[in-house]
């Protein structure tokens, strides 16, 4: 499609698709655009080998980042949310996939969600997928050469409502906030889950690299971390704390992070809450049928 060239190196633009409601430094940036139907790569010329934002990223995480960049321009990746978990008239049937049964092959990109809230006795996510099954399917995807991506529809930790309870919550969850401990409790469990995604075998199991887009669609008004619910600086602090806590406090280094707004009117709006190059590997866009914003999104990828 388009050529994304930074001041120092090339950018990758990966367009993934999820059929459900749902996937920097100048040297480090990839552009990931979450869409509805298909994933495509644009052409890029890299002057140097790009590296993830996390300087301690695992070897396999660096390989994911670099392999995507190297594949760019030569491949089309198709993705599907919860592909191995359920489909039309079936659920939890080993080996089944609507995509595979329709197209003859499994998708390349597999989307999963982490919501709604971790806690005692909470064994399933927001889509009623058991986390123990998710671990197994994440490993299977990796073994097939696929890419695992994660979103997080976390409950409102301030009110106890759902992720769509739009009561502002970010300020009280920041360091020093009244309910900050509730956020760290969730991040503690999330870190354990991310680190539990490991390759098979009896010995030398390795952590599986994933893409995570925390606090997505923040330009919308339907989540408690949305544009109406916090200031840009509060959002940036929220995003940075999430990444720093996972990396520095919990030792999570198998994650590429995506910055993924929804609706935006111009480049300034898209970048308004950007947390900084050290916290983002992938420019993203949660995209719902609004064709008029495509060209603007690609332009932003080129210029940042």
- Reported confidence tier of residue 42, pLDDT bands at 50, 70, 90: very low
| pLDDT tens, position by position, 55-89 | 999 999 999 999 888 877 687 678 999 999 999 99
User: Could you give all domains of the chain from N- to C-terminal order, each with its CATH number?
Assistant: 12-303 (3.20.20.80)
**Residue 106 predicted with pLDDT over 70:** yes
- Residue 206 CB: number of other CB atoms within 10 A? 15
**Residue 46 predicted with pLDDT over 70:** no
**pLDDT at position 238, please?**
98
**pLDDT at position 285, please?**
87
Across residues 42-48, what is the average pLDDT? 45
**pLDDT at position 68, please?**
83
Contact criterion met (CB below 8 Å) for 52 and 281? yes
Task: Tell me what the pLDDT averaged over the chain comes to.
Answer: 84
Tokens read off for 199: 């390759």
| pLDDT tens, position by position, 147-195 | 999 999 999 999 999 999 999 999 999 999 999 999 999 999 999 999 9
- For the chain, counts of helices (H) and of strands (E): 8, 12
Furthest-apart CA atoms within the chain: distance in Å? 53
Task: Specify which residues 212 forms β-bridges with.
Answer: 150, 257
**pLDDT at position 256, please?**
97
Q: What is the dihedral of CA 110, 111, 114, 115, to 10 degrees?
A: -150
Q: Which of 103, 208, 203, 201 is nearest to 146 (CA)?
A: 208
- Reported confidence tier of residue 288, pLDDT bands at 50, 70, 90: confident
Q: Which of 286, 260, 264, 259 is nearest to 275 (CA)?
A: 259
**pLDDT at position 294, please?**
59
**pLDDT at position 291, please?**
60
Q: Is the dihedral of CA 197, 200, 201, 205 positive or negative?
A: negative
**pLDDT at position 24, please?**
36
| pLDDT tens, position by position, 220-242 | 999 999 999 999 999 999 999 99
Across residues 266-283, what is the average pLDDT? 95
**pLDDT at position 20, please?**
34
**Residue 103 predicted with pLDDT over 70:** yes
Q: Is the pTM of this model over 0.85?
A: no
């Amino acid at each position: 499609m388009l050529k994304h060239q930074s001041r120092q190196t090339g950018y990758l633009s990966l367009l993934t698709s999820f059929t459900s409601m749902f996937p920097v430094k100048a040297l480090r940036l990839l552009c990931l655009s979450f869409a509805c139907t298909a994933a495509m790569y644009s052409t890029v010329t890299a002057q140097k080998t790009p590296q993830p934002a996390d300087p301690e990223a695992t070897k396999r995480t660096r390989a994911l980042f670099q392999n995507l960049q190297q594949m760019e321009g030569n491949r089309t990746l198709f993705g599907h949310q919860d592909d191995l978990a359920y489909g039309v008239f079936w659920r939890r049937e080993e080996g089944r996939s609507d995509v595979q049964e329709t197209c003859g092959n499994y998708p390349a990109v597999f989307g999963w969600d982490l919501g709604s809230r971790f806690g005692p006795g909470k064994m399933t996510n927001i889509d009623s997928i058991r986390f123990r099954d998710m671990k197994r399917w994440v490993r299977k995807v990796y073994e097939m050469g696929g890419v695992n991506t994660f979103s997080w529809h976390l409950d409102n930790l301030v009110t106890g409502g759902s992720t769509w309870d739009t009561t502002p919550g970010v300020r009280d969850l920041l360091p020093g906030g009244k309910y900050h401990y509730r956020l760290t409790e969730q991040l503690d469990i999330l870190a354990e889950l991310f680190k539990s995604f490991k390759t098979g075998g009896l010995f030398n199991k390795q952590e599986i690299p994933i893409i995570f887009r925390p606090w997505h669609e923040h330009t919308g008004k339907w989540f408690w971390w949305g544009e109406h619910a916090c200031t840009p600086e509060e959002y940036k602090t929220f995003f940075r704390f999430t990444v720093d806590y996972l990396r520095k406090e919990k030792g999570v280094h198998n994650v590429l992070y995506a910055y993924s707004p929804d609706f935006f009117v111009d480049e300034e709006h898209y970048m308004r809450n950007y947390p900084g190059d050290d916290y983002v590997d992938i420019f993203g866009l949660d995209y719902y049928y609004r064709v008029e914003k495509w060209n603007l999104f690609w332009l932003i990828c080129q210029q940042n």
